């Protein structure tokens, strides 16, 4: 065996062959360390497809694909928090894929920048989807109609996603149908121009108005209907929360020389002062049911004598000075109605007018409160 080793040592390897052998070994080692470029590409492609699909779900409406996006959202039973779970899962997978790709040879700066941008886009998309309405909602309304008018105007407001360009086509109450009217204020023509009927907006939604006009018979049919819907131009029906009535239903209006009227729901003070033109007895406080709990009689002053609701019935004489003081809190209801005190002789009213603020959560709570009653 030792003779064999000596013979191997005596073999002379040519210098050029030795160099070529070393180069071959070095090249093999390089090939072994060379990154598998296909791996980060495949991983990045899979993550990108999933992430872009999620992002397009939120961006679709803003890019002209609103119908597809809104259709998915309307049919989805997912809660807003579910979108965040999807986004967070995609963020984690994205970060893992970027880290893996950098380890396999991707440029570190490019990888970090790509991951940061993708995470921001996913977060923004989840935030957008979280604040989208599953369907438009109508603002609750309390409205009194003047019985002496031949035609009656009615405005019902609704909140709709900014990327949803549908509008109210008509109102449906049983067999009654009232077409929505849109007025161009410059030409005074009944034309539709989106979104000239928007009264308020926030980052995600618009509050828009639908105007209707009908005669006394049509409005009475509306009042008598158990269910009233606003129907969008694609046929979707939006249920409404309404309390509409004619002013004659409140009883005879007591006449008075009015000195002061304030009906500001914003600061909670509603006052009316007047000299009575007839004798009357007041035995109850009147207000629409939808305002109960939000508005209350503070006091009634008759010739400097103060009465509370607990003191009713109260008799007043012709020529006496009567002042009503009501207090209230700002409510998420559109109001154009009367409150006051009344008795067998009629109603001594205060007209109040107020518009609900653009607050989706409070309006939803108001709808649930009245519809659940």
pLDDT in tens, 111-127: 677 777 777 777 777 77
- Is pLDDT of 260 > 80? no
* Chain centre distance of CA 293: 24
pLDDT score of 127: 72
Quick check: 151 and 213 in contact, CB under 8 A? yes
Phi, psi (5° rounding) for residue 359? -140, 100
Model confidence at 61, pLDDT cuts 50, 70, 90, reads very low
pLDDT score of 169: 92
Work out the average pLDDT over 151-175.
Answer: 92
pLDDT score of 315: 95
pLDDT score of 183: 56
pLDDT score of 341: 93
**Span 265-322, pLDDT tens digits:** 656 788 888 888 889 999 999 989 999 888 999 999 999 999 999 999 999 999 999 9
Mean pLDDT of the chain: 77
**Span 307-333, pLDDT tens digits:** 999 999 999 999 999 999 999 888 899
- Strand ordering across the sheet containing 256-264: 256-264, 269-276, 321-328, 295-302, 305-307
Specify burial of residue 98 (Cβ count, 10 A radius: 0-12, 13-18, 19+).
Answer: buried
Query: Strand locations in 216-373, DSSP E?
Result: 229-232, 237-239, 242-246, 256-264, 269-276, 280-282, 284-286, 295-302, 305-307, 314-316, 321-328, 334-343, 346-354
Count Cα atoms within 13 angstroms, Cβ side, for 227. 7
């Amino acid at each position: 065996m030792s003779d064999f080793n000596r013979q191997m040592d005596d073999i002379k390897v040519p210098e050029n062959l030795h160099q070529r052998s070393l180069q071959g070994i070095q090249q093999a080692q390089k090939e072994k360390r060379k990154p598998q470029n296909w791996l980060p590409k495949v991983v990045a492609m899979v993550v990108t497809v999933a992430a872009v699909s999620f992002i397009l779900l939120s961006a679709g409406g803003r890019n002209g694909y609103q119908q597809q996006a809104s259709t998915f959202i309307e049919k989805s039973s997912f809660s807003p928090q579910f979108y965040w779970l999807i986004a967070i899962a995609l963020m984690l997978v994205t970060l893992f894929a970027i880290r893996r790709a950098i380890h396999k040879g991707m440029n570190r700066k490019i990888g970090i920048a790509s991951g940061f941008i993708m995470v921001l886009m996913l977060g923004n998309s989840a935030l957008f989807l979280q604040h989208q309405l599953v369907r438009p909602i109508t603002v609750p309304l309390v409205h009194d109609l003047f019985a002496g008018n031949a035609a009656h105007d009615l405005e019902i407001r609704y909140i709709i996603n900014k990327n949803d360009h549908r509008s109210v086509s008509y109102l449906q109450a049983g067999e009654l149908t009232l077409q929505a009217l849109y007025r161009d204020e410059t030409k005074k023509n009944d034309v539709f121009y989106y979104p000239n009927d928007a009264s308020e907006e926030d980052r995600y939604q618009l509050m828009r108005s639908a105007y209707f006009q009908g005669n006394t018979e049509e409005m009475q049919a509306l009042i008598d209907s158990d269910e009233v819907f606003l129907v969008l131009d694609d046929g979707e029906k939006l249920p409404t929360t309404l309390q509409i009535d004619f002013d004659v239903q409140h009883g005879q209006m007591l006449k008075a020389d009015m000195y002061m009227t304030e009906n500001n729901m914003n600061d909670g003070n509603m006052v009316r002062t007047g000299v009575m033109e007839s004798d009357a007895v007041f035995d109850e406080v009147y207000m629409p049911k939808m305002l109960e709990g939000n508005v209350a009689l503070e006091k009634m002053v008759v010739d400097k004598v103060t009465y509370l609701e607990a003191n009713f019935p109260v008799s007043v004489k012709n020529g006496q000075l009567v002042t009503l003081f009501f207090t209230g809190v700002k409510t998420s209801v559109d109001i154009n109605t009367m409150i006051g005190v009344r008795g067998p002789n009629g109603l001594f009213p205060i007209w109040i007018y107020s518009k609900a603020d653009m607050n989706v959560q409070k309006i939803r709570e108001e709808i649930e409160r009245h519809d659940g009653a």
